A and B are shown apart, each in its own frame.
Chain A
Amino acid sequence: MLEIKNLHANINGKEIIKGLSLTVNAGEIHAIMGPNGAGKSTLSSVLTGNPAFTVTEGQVTFNGKNLLELTPEDRSREGIFLSFQYPVEIPGVSMVNFMRTAVNEHRKYKNLDPISATDFLRLMREKKELVEMDNKLANRSVNEGFSGGEKKRNEIFQMAMLNPLLSILDETDSGLDIDALRIVANGVNKLKSPDNASIVITHYQRLLDYIIPDFVHVLYDGRIVKSGGKELAYELEERGYDWIKKEVEEAAI
């Protein structure tokens, strides 16, 4: 589904992603862990087409298409979804209007007519229930004044509404209380199918008890430096990253 080969990307001339490769197939869940500043969020930004970042080398294909050529909106319509580490507040744009516009843009891309008012309301209700989102939140401006946890839950709600093929969850677990974590993870699991895939970026093994990954990768200094099964997450939880950094340094000598 997603194939990243030797990706290099920078921001304002500063190279952050330094030759990263990763393959994700349909039906798989990949966890990406790694120290602060390693480039995990940068990778999500590059995959979703954030114009702040410049790709200098490498290829990314998504279901056979050259992803890097697509606009951010077309990447979304093709089925890529990012749950932002820091969701953005948009005062004055209501959640309802925002979601209706997004859903209809996705439909238009598939040559479908705009969704009817009743279908839309039903869809909203159904997905709100899935993530147990408060009705009041759906009636407010996008993320405006939402608590940290509410924003994260809203990301998963949007993901449920858009039903992506590849979802990238960037630290969706941070800022969530134990109950919210379970609800969000449940939501993710319910949306899981053999046709879609997820990349879960996290610092904590705890989330991976709920969302069980097929692969765990360590991203360090702009590259994937180690990959393994879910037991790698436990090892990282226990031992931290120093031994990995050491391994990388030794390999470089």
Chain B
Amino acid sequence: MENKTIIAETNSKSLSLAGVGEASYIDLYKQHHESIKKHSAAVMNDSRDASFALFEELRFPTTALENYKYSDLKAALAIDYGLNINRIPIPVNPYDVFKCDVPGIQSYLFFVVNDAFYPTMDTKALKLPEGVIIGSLKEIAETRPELLKEYYGKLSTSKKDGLVAFNGAFAQDGFFMYVPKNVQLTKPVQLVNIMRSDVDFMANSHNLIILEEGAKAQLLVCDHTVDEVRFLSNRVTEVFVGEHATYEHYKLENTHTKTTNLSTLLIDQRASSNVIANVITLHNGVTRNTVEIDLDGEHCETQLCGMVIGDKNQQVDNFTSIIHNKPNCNSHELFKYVLDGFAKGGFTGKLLVAKDAQKTTAFQTNRNILLNKTAKMRTKPQLEIYADDVKCSHGATIGSLDETAKFYMQSRGISEPEARLLLMFAFTNDVIEFIRIPALQDRIKMLVEKRLRGELSKCEGCVICQ
């Protein structure tokens, strides 16, 4: 019996029968795991059944779970999405659809359409530095299994998280990047995820990023939805940052309100590595970002920040975790939300300092502005500190716009709406300041301003890119 939509031919639902929710996905896996595996690679299949078994046990997360208290995914997960298990090519040429360049940004540009890496026109023409490999996870898992074996699933399969387990069972492809020892990418890599389908659609992609010792890379991940249908993206990204390596990860979401964006970013940092992760939600539907960074060597530097601008019925939950396992590391966390309409925000800042992680410095700040009485914000710092010689602080505030500052501006002739805008923009500005790519910083400033002026609210396509 079939009870799940599988995209069997382009643009049509051929295997659609009633049945939604977890049970239908479980049936789907049981009946189609051979196809799933056939259209993926051995390295990815090795842990697939185990992931599935874990999902069967955990199921989709609900708000009853402490870590998902602020993520109400029930409605989003109850939709009957199609899955493209047989890897039918989706007819879209992203290069045509998206003239995707942040002006002034010279980047290596790649696309993932739904959950399939889009074959890049000519990798050679990109002139990637010697030894750097960027491409389809599935393809590289087939052609260079030795590259991934040590890494694939190493951060994700141990997670007791239903979404991550589901991804392990269903993900067949994704983005892969390998930067060998001491190689530094001088241009940022831009990964554009495009959701494109004629039926409600679910994409499970898995990204794997490996930076060897002394390597350096910047990755800009943009999420866009194209069509008016409902999308669910469940993505897991594993990042391994070697000793003395520097990695910057910018995630910029600009999707429509029918999108559910579930993203898990798992980063492992080795000694003396430097990581920036910046998660910006400009426009969305329902978003859950899980960011977990483990500091597994001394002298690591970590900067984790994010921003949310929400209105309408948008929902954004950022669940973050920084674990200091070793001494002498610094972490800095900053998240800011501006919420209007009926938007709901959630923030969890978990910070764990292990017993022998002495001389840790860890600062965490979450500041939120609610522009009306109907928007809601819930925030939870969660500090567990087992070492005694540490400097840690955290602060969370929920407030409204500073009326005194607003009046001061108005008294200089600045209109009330403009004064509000300047204050909101100022409020989010320090998160933007953390972006180390100047052209991207400028672009995001412009987009944030547009968003705050309400000019981005009808976003359907790739505003970032057009």
A contact set with B: CB distance below 8 Å: 48-51, 71-73, 75-77, 81-82, 84, 87-93, 97-98, 101-102, 105-106, 109, 141-142, 158, 162
Contact B427 A84 (CB under 8 A): no
- Cross-chain pairs A/B with CB under 8 angstroms, 28 sampled: A48-B411, A49-B410, A49-B411, A50-B407, A50-B411, A51-B403, A72-B410, A73-B410, A73-B411, A73-B415, A75-B411, A76-B413, A87-B408, A88-B404, A89-B405, A90-B408, A91-B426, A92-B427, A92-B430, A97-B422, A98-B412, A98-B414, A102-B409, A102-B412, A105-B415, A106-B413, A109-B413, A142-B408
Contact B411 A93 (CB under 8 A): no
B425 within 8 A of A: yes
B77 within 8 A of A: no
Contact B426 A93 (CB under 8 A): yes
Main secondary structure of the interface of B (DSSP, over half): helix
Which of chain A's residues have a CB closer than 8 A to the CB of B422? 90, 93, 97-98, 101
Smallest CB-CB A-B distances: 8 pairs: A92-B426, A76-B413, A88-B408, A72-B410, A102-B412, A105-B413, A93-B426, A92-B429
Closest CB-CB distance, B367 to chain A, in whole Å? 11
> Mask for B420-438, Cβ within 8 A of A = 1, else 0?
0011011101100000000
Which of chain A's residues have a CB closer than 8 A to the CB of B413? 73, 76-77, 102, 105-106, 109, 162
B416 within 8 A of A: yes
Which of chain A's residues have a CB closer than 8 A to the CB of B389? none
Interface residues of B, CB < 8 Å — how many? 22
Which of chain A's residues have a CB closer than 8 A to the CB of B416? 71, 73
Query: In the bound complex, what is the Cα–Cα distance between A48 and B418 (angstroms)?
Result: 18
Which of chain B's residues have a CB closer than 8 A to the CB of A105? 413-415, 418
Query: In the bound complex, what is the Cα–Cα distance between A71 and B409 (angstroms)?
Result: 12
Which of chain B's residues have a CB closer than 8 A to the CB of A72? 407, 410-411
Tally of contacts, chain A with chain B, CB under 8 A: 75
Contact B423 A90 (CB under 8 A): yes
Which of chain B's residues have a CB closer than 8 A to the CB of A92? 425-427, 429-430
Which of chain A's residues have a CB closer than 8 A to the CB of B425? 92-93
Query: In the bound complex, what is the Cα–Cα distance between A48 and B413 (angstroms)?
Result: 11
Contact B412 A158 (CB under 8 A): yes
Query: In the bound complex, what is the Cα–Cα distance between A162 and B426 (angstroms)?
Result: 23
Query: In the bound complex, what is the Cα–Cα distance between A106 and B413 (angstroms)?
Result: 6
Which of chain B's residues have a CB closer than 8 A to the CB of A101? 414, 418, 422
Contact A84 B408 (CB under 8 A): yes
Which of chain A's residues have a CB closer than 8 A to the CB of B415? 73, 105
Q: Which of A76, A97, A158, A162 contacts B410 (CB 8 A)?
A: A76
- Count chain A CB atoms within 10 A of each CB in B402, B407, B408, B411 and give the residue with the most: B411
Closest CB-CB distance, A201 to chain B, in whole Å? 16
Query: In the bound complex, what is the Cα–Cα distance between A88 and B429 (angstroms)?
Result: 19
4 more CB-based (< 8 A) A-B contacts, given A77-B413, A84-B408: A50-B407, A73-B410, A87-B408, A93-B422
Name the residue of chain B whose CB is nearest to the CB of A72.
Answer: B410
Name the residue of chain B whose CB is nearest to the CB of A84.
Answer: B408
Name the residue of chain A whose CB is nearest to the CB of B421.
Answer: A101
Q: Which of A51, A77, A142 contacts B407 (CB 8 A)?
A: A51
Which of chain B's residues have a CB closer than 8 A to the CB of A73? 410-411, 413-416
Contact A98 B409 (CB under 8 A): yes
Closest CB-CB distance, A63 to chain B, in whole Å? 16
Name the residue of chain B whose CB is nearest to the CB of A94.
Answer: B426
Contact B407 A76 (CB under 8 A): no
Which of chain A's residues have a CB closer than 8 A to the CB of B430? 92
Closest CB-CB distance, B57 to chain A, in whole Å? 47
Query: In the bound complex, what is the Cα–Cα distance between A84 and B423 (angstroms)?
Result: 19
Name the residue of chain A whose CB is nearest to the CB of B430.
Answer: A92
Closest CB-CB distance, B412 to chain A, in whole Å? 4
Which of chain B's residues have a CB closer than 8 A to the CB of A50? 407, 411
Name the residue of chain B whose CB is nearest to the CB of A92.
Answer: B426
Closest CB-CB distance, B251 to chain A, in whole Å? 23
Query: In the bound complex, what is the Cα–Cα distance between A31 and B405 (angstroms)?
Result: 27
Name the residue of chain B whose CB is nearest to the CB of A82.
Answer: B411
Contact A162 B423 (CB under 8 A): no
Which of chain B's residues have a CB closer than 8 A to the CB of A51? 403, 407
- Count chain B CB atoms within 10 A of each CB in A84, A92, A109 and give the residue with the most: A92
Name the residue of chain A whose CB is nearest to the CB of B427.
Answer: A92
Query: In the bound complex, what is the Cα–Cα distance between A150 and B418 (angstroms)?
Result: 26
Query: In the bound complex, what is the Cα–Cα distance between A106 and B425 (angstroms)?
Result: 21
Which of chain B's residues have a CB closer than 8 A to the CB of A82? 411
Contact B409 A90 (CB under 8 A): yes
Query: In the bound complex, what is the Cα–Cα distance between A86 and B411 (angstroms)?
Result: 13
